[in-house]
C-alpha cells in the first residue's frame, strides 16, 4: 500500500479554496502558455522546459488531458478542446470550489471575474492596492488621498481581501509612520515620470500601504502580501518578510490578518518564524507549489511547518 495512501485519500475528498488566483485568458491571448510554468522572461524563458518543475507539470497535465506528454501535444489539445472544456476539466479534477481573483495584473484577452463563475460556485475579488492607486493617477482624480479613500471605501464591501506588491516596487521594509510631506514629494516624483503611471517611490508606496491597512482593519479584510520569489522585475533581497517587522509591531494594525504569499520562498523559515510569534501572520504556499521541484515543494512546506502553527499554513492553486 502507498505510504501516504490514507492521507492522499483524505486530501482528495477536500474541496479547495484557491485563495489567490489571476484571471484566465483566451487561448489566443499573447500571454504565452509556457509562462504558466516559470517566472522567467525573454531569453531566460527558453530554458524553462529544462527545469524539473516544468517536466513534472507537463507530464501531469498531459495525463489529465489524455494527450501526448509534450508542450506541442498539450497546446494542441487545448486548442481543439476549447477554453471552457479544459477549464471545467482542470477545476473539477482539483476540486476547486472557490476562486479568489487578484485582477490587478493586466493580461491580453483576459476574462473578467464574472466569467470565472462558470468554473467554480464561489468567486471573489482581491483588490490590488497599487493598481488602484495607479488607476486613480492615470485618470487624474485629485486630490489623490481623498479619491483613494473614497473609492476604497466604496469597493471595500465588494472585495474579499487586499493585495500589495510593495515587494516588487520598493521592498517590504514598510514605514508605517511615513509623513504626508514625504508622501506628497513622492507623488510629485511619480507624476513627473509621465503616463502610464507606475508607482515606485518608496515614501508614496508606504503611505498607500499604511492607509490601505487602515481600511483593512475597518472592513475586517485580510492583506495579502507578495513575499519571496517572482520574475526579474523583483529585487529578491527586498522581499524577505523579515523586513515587515515595523509593520507587524505597529499596534494600530495588530488585528489585521497579514497573509504572506508564495511560501516567502526562499525565505520560508523566516516566514515560519513570523507566523509563530505574530498572531496576525498567516502563510500561503501557493506558487511555490507547483513552481518548485518535488523536493523543493516538500522542503519549503517542511520549513513553513518548523515553527508556524499548522492552522496558519494554507495552500492555493495557481
Domain boundary among 50, 66, 81: 81
Q: Cα–Cα distance between 226 and 140 in angstroms, integer?
A: 27
| Integer CA distances (angstroms), 222 to 17, 82, 254, 257, 278, in order | 15, 35, 12, 5, 15
Identify whether residues 44 and 144 lie together within a single domain: no
Q: Does the pLDDT value for residue 1 go beyond 70?
A: no
Identify whether residues 127 and 71 lie together within a single domain: no
Any domain includes 19:
no
148-188 pLDDT, tens digit each: 888 888 998 899 999 999 999 999 999 999 999 999 999 99
Contact 22, 105 (CB under 8 A): yes
Structural domain that includes position 51: 28-81
Identify whether residues 284 and 175 lie together within a single domain: yes
pTM recorded for the entire structure: 0.94
Any domain includes 16:
no
Beta-sheet strand order (sheet of 281-284) = 16-21, 96-102, 122-128, 161-164, 223-225, 258-260, 281-284, 313-314
| Helix count and strand count (H, E) for the chain | 13, 9
pLDDT above 70 covers what percent of the chain? 99
Contact 172, 238 (CB under 8 A): yes
Any domain includes 101:
no
Identify whether residues 257 and 135 lie together within a single domain: yes
Identify whether residues 197 and 271 lie together within a single domain: yes
pLDDT of residue 316: 60
| Integer CA distances (angstroms), 99 to 103, 118, 227, 291, in order | 12, 11, 21, 19
Identify whether residues 282 and 226 lie together within a single domain: yes
pLDDT of residue 318: 37
Any domain includes 86:
no
Any domain includes 226:
yes
Contact 190, 201 (CB under 8 A): yes
Q: Does the pLDDT value for residue 227 go beyond 80?
A: yes
Question: Any idea what DSSP says for residue 266?
Answer: T
Identify whether residues 47 and 186 lie together within a single domain: no
Instruction: Indicate the number of domains in the chain.
Output: 2
Q: Cα–Cα distance between 151 and 133 in angstroms, integer?
A: 10
Q: Cα–Cα distance between 79 and 202 in angstroms, integer?
A: 44
pLDDT of residue 317: 42
Any domain includes 22:
no
Identify whether residues 151 and 213 lie together within a single domain: yes
Is the backbone peptide bond immediately before 196 cis, with ω within 30 degrees of 0?
A: yes
Amino acid at each position: 500500500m502507498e505510504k501516504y495512501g490514507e492521507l492522499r485519500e483524505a486530501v482528495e475528498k477536500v474541496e479547495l479554496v484557491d485563495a489567490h488566483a489571476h484571471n484566465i485568458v483566451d487561448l489566443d491571448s499573447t500571454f504565452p502558455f509556457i509562462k504558466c510554468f516559470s517566472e522567467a522572461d525573454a531569453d531566460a524563458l527558453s530554458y524553462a522546459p529544462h527545469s524539473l518543475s516544468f517536466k513534472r507539470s507537463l507530464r501531469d497535465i498531459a495525463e489529465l488531458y489524455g494527450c501526448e506528454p509534450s508542450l506541442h501535444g498539450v497546446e494542441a489539445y487545448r486548442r481543439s478542446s476549447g477554453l471552457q472544456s479544459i477549464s471545467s476539466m482542470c477545476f473539477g479534477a482539483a476540486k476547486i470550489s472557490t476562486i479568489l481573483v487578484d485582477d490587478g495584473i493586466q493580461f491580453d484577452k483576459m476574462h473578467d471575474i464574472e466569467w470565472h463563475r462558470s468554473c467554480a460556485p464561489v468567486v471573489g475579488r482581491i483588490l490590488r492596492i497599487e493598481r488602484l492607486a495607479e488607476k486613480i493617477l492615470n485618470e487624474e482624480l485629485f486630490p489623490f488621498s481623498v479619491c483613494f479613500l473614497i473609492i476604497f471605501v466604496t469597493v471595500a464591501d465588494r472585495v474579499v481581501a487586499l493585495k500589495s506588491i510593495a515587494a516588487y516596487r520598493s521592498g517590504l521594509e514598510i514605514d508605517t509612520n511615513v509623513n504626508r510631506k514625504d508622501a506628497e514629494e513622492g507623488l510629485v516624483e511619480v507624476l513627473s515620470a509621465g503616463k502610464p503611471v507606475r508607482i515606485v517611490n518608496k515614501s508614496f508606496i508606504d503611505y498607500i500601504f499604511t492607509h490601505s491597512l487602515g481600511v483593512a482593519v475597518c472592513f475586517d479584510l485580510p492583506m495579502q502580501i507578495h513575499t519571496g520569489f517572482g520574475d526579474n522585475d523583483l529585487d529578491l533581497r527586498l522581499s524577505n518578510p523579515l523586513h515587515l517587522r515595523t509593520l507587524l509591531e505597529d499596534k494600530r494594525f495588530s488585528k489585521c490578518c497579514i497573509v504572506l504569499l508564495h511560501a516567502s520562498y526562499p525565505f520560508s523559515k523566516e516566514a515560519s518564524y513570523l507566523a509563530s510569534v505574530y498572531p496576525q501572520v498567516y502563510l500561503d504556499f501557493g506558487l511555490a507549489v507547483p513552481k518548485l521541484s518535488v523536493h523543493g515543494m516538500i522542503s519549503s512546506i517542511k520549513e513553513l511547518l518548523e515553527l508556524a502553527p499548522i492552522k496558519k499554513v494554507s495552500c492555493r492553486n495557481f
